[in-house]
Amino acid sequence: MRLCHISFGIDIPSHIHYVEVKFTIGVSMKTKKQIEQEALATYRRYVATRDKVDSGACGWDVMADFFTEDAVYIDPAWGRQEGRETIRQFFLDSMAGLTGHGWSTPERWTMVDGHRLVSHWDQVLGQKPDGGQWIVPGLSILYYAADGLFCYSHDYLNMTYVGETMKAMAWQPPAGFNMPPRKPNWTTDLPVAWRALPDVFSNERAY
């Protein structure tokens, strides 16, 4: 279904094919509860797919299919990635030499408020000699657009803690590992077409 172009006073670049907001042509406005149900269902599919990636059943490139064409992904080491295909390449480049070498991302809990979804997960870096795991907790803030797609994801990790953990586990980069860029883009804005999402349900009480 093609969604309505509504700019909310924002100039929409001509290269953006559609603006996925909560209005659709000829379709009633979705309620906050409906949006939250869609966002949670989509994120559960996202986590299930990520678990398959961690197990080696598929590659990281499939994760980009959960994002809009103009999506933004912000990584705590690689910085801002703009556009679905850029995000796809980022997943491949950033996880090379990590997935399949002890790294995984199990989910802890998820909560949602309107279009905004918050996820708490663990970044597992490997297994300890005693059978435990080297773990650094992480947090993500995502914005759900529509049609099973997110338009934004911002991952948070304590990178000092990551470095200290790697040092404690005597981690060495395996073959194929790619270093993050030296000067990442740390801009945190939502994509232009989606900057109204945080305020869509602002007149409704959060619960």
- Give the tokens for residue 173: 């980069």
H or E, element range at 93: helix 84-95
- Give the tokens for residue 84: 């679905």
Interatomic CA distance for residues 142 and 126, integer angstroms: 26
Q: Is 57 helix (H, G, I), strand (E, B) or coil?
A: coil
Q: Can you tell me the mean pLDDT for 55-72? A: 96
- CATH class of the domain at 32-199: alpha beta
| Structural domain spans, the chain | 32-199
pLDDT given at position 52: 95
Q: Can you tell me the mean pLDDT for 50-59? A: 93
pLDDT tens across 138-170, in order? 999 999 999 999 999 999 999 999 999 999 999
Q: Can you tell me the mean pLDDT for 131-140? A: 95
pLDDT given at position 205: 59
